[in-house]
Amino acid sequence: MKPQDIEGIISGAASGGWDWFEQADEKTQQALKIQQEKDAEDARAIASAWARFYNSPDGRKALESMFDVTLRRAVYFATAGWDPATMATYGAFREGQNSLAQEIARQISLGEGEAIKPRDVQT
Name 67's Cβ contacts closer than 8 Å, sequence gap at least 6: 101, 105
C-alpha–C-alpha distance, residues 77 and 68, integer Å:
16
Report residue 1's pLDDT band, with 50, 70 and 90 as the boundaries. very low
Tens digits of residue pLDDT in 110-119? 999 877 666 6
In percent, the amount of the chain with pLDDT more than 90 equals 46
